[in-house]
Amino acid sequence: MSRIGKKPVELPTGVSATLSGQTILVKGPKGELSFTATDDVTVKISDSAVAIEPRGSSKRARQQWGMSRTMVSNLVTGVSSGFRKQLEINGVGYRAQVSGKVLKLNLGLSHDVNFEIPDGVNVTAPKLTEIVVEGIDSQLVGQVAANIRAWKKPEPYKGKGIKYKDEYIFRKDGKKK
């Protein structure tokens, strides 16, 4: 039994959900998002909550039950408050700045990295060593943050690179004589 799937997703004030077939459309103050559930689950909208139930007792139906509930929860959170990932840049001379729809990164490479910011995501650099990725789509925000981090992952000896703000970097000792 899915413990996550049992809980219905509460709709906060200002957020509405409509259902057409297996596709649920959630509208809120920040925008609108949709998700199409598989045929293994049933989606029901009542009063101010969305409930997901499996259509059988197969393993796939139970897997889709919890996943579908989490996806609907992410839609509701996204249109009501949005998602945010914060990145930090560590290293001498490493810096970031946003100009238009391009994030310019100086990461100690032989060239500057120009990262195109996709639609649906807002990227800002409040400081030279800080990047903030915001948006309503959880998957897109996480993927953009991961793509930015992939340019220079933090290394374990000096900790230089791009890391998530709450990430812990396991540090190693250098060579010993």
Domains of the chain (ranges; CATH) run: 3-80 (3.90.930.12), 83-164 (3.90.930.12)
pLDDT digits (tens, 9 = 90+) for 22-48: 999 999 999 999 999 999 999 999 888
12 pLDDT more than 80: yes
Closest alpha carbon to 87 in 132, 57, 125, 128:
132
Q: Order of strands across the sheet with 130-135?
A: 121-124, 130-135, 83-90, 161-164
2 pLDDT tier (thresholds 50, 70, 90): low
139 pLDDT more than 90: yes
Return the percentage of the chain with pLDDT > 70, whole number. Answer: 99
Average pLDDT over every residue of 160-174? 92
Q: Evaluate if pTM is beyond 0.75.
A: yes
Average pLDDT over every residue of 153-162? 92
Residue 26's pLDDT is 93
1 pLDDT more than 80: no
Mean pLDDT of the chain: 92
For tokens 């409509």, the residue is 18
Percentage helix, strand, coil for the chain under 3-state DSSP, each rounded to 5: 20, 40, 40
